[in-house]
Amino acid sequence: MSAILLDGKTEAARIRAELKDEIAKQGLKPGLGVILVGHDPASVLYVNLKEKAAREIGISVSRFDLPDTASESEVVVHIRRLNADAAVNGILVQLPLPEHLNPNVVIAEIDPAKDVDGFHPKNSTGLLSPGINGPLELLKKTGVELAGKHAVVVGNSAVFTQSFCDALRAQHVRAEPTYPDNFELIAQADILVVAVGRAGYLKPAMIKPGAIVIDIGTSKVDGKTVGDVSPEASAVAAFMTPVPGGVGPMTVAMLLKNTVELYKQQNIETKPPQASPTEA
């Protein structure tokens, strides 16, 4: 058996094309605000990719690049500026932040109605985080009936693993979060979502034969981007997401989709139903 690869690059291109067509035909003017603090190479790369993809489909971008030494109050000033800008519909603060900044405090300053990443504790948009929705869309592309399946979400962040499990449960999946060393539970999963950030962490012996494997982790090995899942896992899994070309492009596509949706929420009012004619 050789796993079927879930092509996020092609699916993301389709989503971007649909959004570009919608923006042009409907005359939409969505705007994205981006704040990057510091010069972490991965973060700079991700922000550049997001900005490029946004501009290509007709989303305007207001970007602030701040130094590593930026204070919490300086970051907050820029967030509040974007909050007040009617041309900005979604706000993204690129994570991780430098260690001296508290991400919870920073994210809480974003207007919940402009929370494009879905991280605000009082998020009012009804939208999933792109980092969760992108992988979910690839999971659905398998064509496998997800309801009733047993999923295990493996990661170092309890917030992320729990949030992903919540999204899976909404699809009627029995989902459990866990840490990377819980090998017994991991081996029982019909669906494995792995976000560890450790190259080749998930070995074939750790995978239930026929499982669906969603690889969210990325690492650099000899200058190449690789995932958390060992390539040899394809001999055991039924479906796998490649790295690169799997979850990454889908996360960007869903960020753009959320931005367009936020524009609609903030600018396109639902017309009230017309009253029935009064009988004479």
% of the chain at pLDDT higher than 70: 95
Domains within the chain, CATH numbers bracketed: 23-117 (3.40.50.10860), 130-246 (3.40.50.720)
Annotated catalytic residue within 94, 115, 190, 257: 94
Over 80: is that where the pLDDT of 277 sits?
no
Over 90: is that where the pLDDT of 159 sits?
no
Over 80: is that where the pLDDT of 219 sits?
yes
pLDDT in tens, 63-106: 999 999 999 999 999 999 999 999 999 999 999 999 999 999 99
Is position 117 annotated as part of the catalytic site? yes
Report pTM: 0.91
Annotated catalytic residue within 50, 149, 208, 257: 50
Is position 266 annotated as part of the catalytic site? no
If pLDDT is split at 50, 70 and 90, which confidence band does 278 have?
A: very low
C-alpha distances out from residue 190 to 87, 238, 257, Å? 44, 10, 29
Annotated catalytic residue within 114, 115, 117, 149: 117
Is position 190 annotated as part of the catalytic site? no
C-alpha distances out from residue 210 to 5, 105, 189, 233, 238, Å? 13, 42, 10, 11, 4
For residues 118 and 128, the answer to whether their CB atoms sit within 8 Å is: yes
% of the chain at pLDDT higher than 90: 88
